[in-house]
Structures are given as C-alpha cells and as structure tokens.
Structure 1
Amino acid sequence: MENDAVAVTVEYRLAPEFPDPYPVEDCYAGLVWTSDHAEELGIDPTRLIVAGASAGGGLAAGIALLARDRKGPALAGQVLIYPMLDDRDNTISTSQIDGEGIWDRSSNVMGWTALLGERKGTDDVSIYAAPARATDLSGLPRTFIDCGSAEVFRDEDVAYATALWQAGVQAELHVWPGGFHGFDMSAPDSVLGKKMISTRSQWIAQLFNS
C-alpha cells in the first residue's frame, strides 16, 4: 500500500437512528483500539493519523479534539477532506450553495438535524460533534484541510484552518478553484481532481517521512 500504511476504518453507528454522540464516540473507540493493537497491526504508534471526508472529516476533527482532551492516543496528523464542521448554517457559502450541486444548504441542514435533532444551532452542541464551535484548538496535531471554492463547507473550513493557525497549530489549507463538494471522487480524472488527490497524498507522504 502507498506509504506502507495500514488503514483502519470504523463502521460507526449512523444518525438519525444513532444521533450524537454515538458516531464520534464509535470513531474514537476505533482510534483507541488501533493504538492499543498497534504492534500486532504492524503500525508505528508515533505515526497515527485520523482522516475523513465530508461528515467523516467532521468526525476526524472531533476525534482529534477528544484525543487531546482525554489524553488519548497521540496523533501525528489529521487529514480533513472538505470536512463538515459547523451546524449553525450561518456562513456565506451555505447561502451561496443553495439548490445547487450534490450537497447543498438543504442537504446540510438535513444532515445536521439528523445528527443533533432539536439541539442543532443551539448552545447545547458539543465541540466534538461540531468542531467549528471549539474556541481552543491548541495542542492539536499537524493538519491538512482541503475543499472546493464552490461548496457549502468552504467558509467553515477556511475559518477552521485560520483558528488552527491562531492557536499555533501547523496547518495546510487548499481551496480548489471551482471545485464542488466531492469533485475528487466524482471527477477523479479531471485536471483539478488529479491535482487535489496528488497534493493530499504528498502531504501525507511528507508527514510519514518526517
């Protein structure tokens, strides 16, 4: 496998049948299990990273916060691929991407409502469910964030990268011009899709080899 890496995926329980905190707690349990079994899995425990796309990107960010706050497994990095981070639906990009594309504002509202129910948009939302709500991002691992310029998550992803920098965290951000949500998967052979995938892969390779 590329980078001689071991990938562990978690079959976490899904909302709305299993709302927050089930998904992020399931994923965190997967991280702890992986760390505890690193030797038998052939994993270097000093090079553990979490990664996820879209809602999975939000879960990866939540896992990193949980690992920091619970003094859990030390992470070498987090890869947040157009992550879903903010339940409050108040950015410019959410209003711009409304009725357009495969994941628009209405899709986003539906997704957050499934996860949080009536708590969506209120003060009763955990930073582990919606990492954009975190006011302290210090102590997080090196971070890679990418998204498209034409997607709902653009502004919250840029804001999260900015907050990471402000907290002294090393972060790399890419906003791909004209990219829509998930374009690297739906158009992987496009010039932009290839560039997005290649840039992300290079960051991971550099992290593992540093």
Structure 2
Amino acid sequence: MSARDLIDPESRVPLDAMLQALPGGVNSIPDIVQRRAVAKTMAAQRSRPEYPNVTKEDRTVPGPAGEPDITVRIYRPAGVPGPLPGVYYIHGGGMVRGGVELEDDSASLICDRVGAVVVSVEYRLAPEHPYPAPVEDCYAGLVWMAENAAELNVDPERLAIYGVSAGGGLTIATALIARDRGGPALSFMMPIYPMLDDRNETPSSYEITDVGIWDRAANIEAWEWYLGGKEADQYAAPARAEDLSGLPPTFIDVGTVDLFRDEDITFAQRLMRAGVPTELHVYPGSYHASEKYSPDAALSRRIWAARIDALKRALT
C-alpha cells in the first residue's frame, strides 16, 4: 500500500489536482530558483480569505550583529485594546523556500481569531545562506519584538513563538537559543509538524516517498543545502539537543502521513520527560501541510480549531 492511500479522502482532492498539473510536485523541480517561483505562483492561485479587521505593516529591523537587516510583517487586530498577547511567526519552506507573503493567510488568521499582535519574520534562505544564517535571523527578529513590546502594544509576559515545518524547527531552535543566551522569555511555543532531524532515520522518513508534498528525497536535499557541509548541532537540528529542560510549554501537531511524524512524536515525548508541559496532536490521514492545501476539509477545520484553542488558552 502506498502512503498516499492513507490520506484523508477529502484532503486528497486538491493534492491529486496539484500532482496532475505538476507530476512529482514542486520539489521535483531541480533548480531552486525556479522551484521557488513555481511555488509562489501556485500559492497565488489559491483562494485567499479576507481579514478586514487585521492591519498589516512591513518594517525593516536589525538583523544579527554584523549581518543585514531583516524584514518583518506586523499584524494587528483593529480596535482591540491592549496590551495584547504577541505571537512571533516563522514561515515554512524546508529552509530553502517560502516567505512571509506565502503564509500571510495563516498569520492573519491567528491575529484575527486569537486577538494577538503577530510578527512574521523574513529570514534568509539556504542554499545561498546556509546555517546559521536563518536561525540567527529568526532570533534577531524575536529580540527586536521583545525589546519593542511597548510600541507594538504587546504584553511581554504573553509572548509565544509559532512556526510551521522548517519554521517549526526554527521555532524550537530559536527557543533553545533564547534559553541559552538569556534572551526573551517565551510563555508558549507552537512548532507545527516541525522539521527537526537531519539524520533521516525514523520509520516515517522512509515511508513517505511518493506523497508529492515533502518526501524523503526533498528532505535529504534540503538538509544538505541548509547545513552547507557543516555538522549539525542542536540549533541546526533540535532533535540533537540533549537538554530540553527550560523550554516553554509546547503544542505540536503532525499528521500520520507526514515524513516528520516520528521525529515529532519522539521530540514531544522527550519534552514531557524533561518536565515541559506538552500537548501533542497526531491527525490520521493528514499529510504535510494538508490544512493549507485543503483548507475547507473537515480535517483541516479540526486542525485549526485545536491550534487556535491552544493559543487562546496559553495567551488569553
């Protein structure tokens, strides 16, 4: 049986349509520049919800010491008195593609439904900018957000960090850096199907080879580009971290038809053993980013409802 046979039927419809239009999926395009362009075009073709009560502002803020400035997009719920909870948002894309614009809908949804100020960071991408550039950009943006909490109308006691896929791995890595450098205090962490382990040794990393979204070959390639020949440490691949104590309360979700399934479940168990309050959701039939490809599916609605509920409980 193929892994694709295990996908939730409703969620599989847009996946099959995408693969019919582009056999092999976006990650089958060899050239990374072309791959990014095609992914951006496909994302632009999807219907996008409107959030009239959310305002947006792009701003250039200081990057890591001695490195270029970075761009952040700030989302604010209109007419909501503060100070408000803050959510620092890190986009996905396997460390090699993606951007603030491609996850504008998700950041807007969180801002609107949680009533939080969301700051989404545009970090540098591999292979042009391998590790540690992406995670150092993410940490610099978090420091800026925390230091400017008053101006942003953010309550510094209610600051969460959220990221999907590669952004989920960067979420945990950024939290580890904040812990180890005595940086911003985080009250909550929500890494969504996070990309955590460069070793590609789990059963699910061998099972997911033909789904067409984020399969084994794409993951191996992305890790090679991200590491750029360096050995992975805990800030590159958080699955390698030996000490998980002191991290903020955590919510993780992942699908059963996701290559990251087993590394995410293992990491959640390790957080629990380290004394970190951890909520784990594993969704039968969900593939990588299925809630983005099939936002109207009943499964996707359940996924988002659980995330929003957890953020509200943690922050409000």
TM-score bracket, shorter-length normalisation: over 0.9
The CA deviation string for residues 38-65 of structure 1, in whole angstroms up to 9 with x for no partner, is: 0000000011111110101110010010
Displacement after TM superposition at 1:110 (Å): 1.0
TM-score under structure 2 length normalisation: 0.64
Matched, 1:169 2:276: yes
Distance across 1 between alignment mates of 2:170 and 2:137:
10
Displacement after TM superposition at 1:3 (Å): 2.4
From 144, 158, 178, the counterpart of 1:47? 158
Point out where structure 2 has 5 or more consecutive residues left out of the alignment: 1-111
Name the Cα RMSD after superposition.
Answer: 0.8
Displacement after TM superposition at 1:100 (Å): 2.3
Residues matched between the structures, number: 205
The CA deviation string for residues 146-177 of structure 1, in whole angstroms up to 9 with x for no partner, is: 01001100000001100000100000000100
2:257 is aligned with what amino acid? A
TM-score under structure 1 length normalisation: 0.96
What is aligned with 2:114? 3
From 252, 258, 262, the counterpart of 1:145? 252
From 33, 53, 56, the counterpart of 2:144? 33
What is aligned with 1:85? 196
| Equivalent residues in 2 for 1:181-192, closer than 5 Å | 181-192=288-299
From 73, 81, 89, the counterpart of 2:184? 73
Distance across 2 between alignment mates of 1:87 and 1:55:
12
Instruction: Report which of the two has the higher share of strand.
Output: 2
Displacement after TM superposition at 1:4 (Å): 2.1
Displacement after TM superposition at 1:126 (Å): 1.6
Distance across 2 between alignment mates of 1:28 and 1:82:
20
Residue aligned with 2:253, SS: strand
Residue aligned with 2:191, SS: strand
What is aligned with 2:175? 64
Matched, 1:125 2:236: no
Percentage of pairs with the same residue = 52
Is contact 1:53–1:81 with CA below 8 Å preserved after alignment?
Answer: yes
Point out where structure 1 has 5 or more consecutive residues left out of the alignment: none
Distance across 2 between alignment mates of 1:208 and 1:100:
35
Distance across 1 between alignment mates of 2:186 and 2:281:
21
What is aligned with 1:14? 125
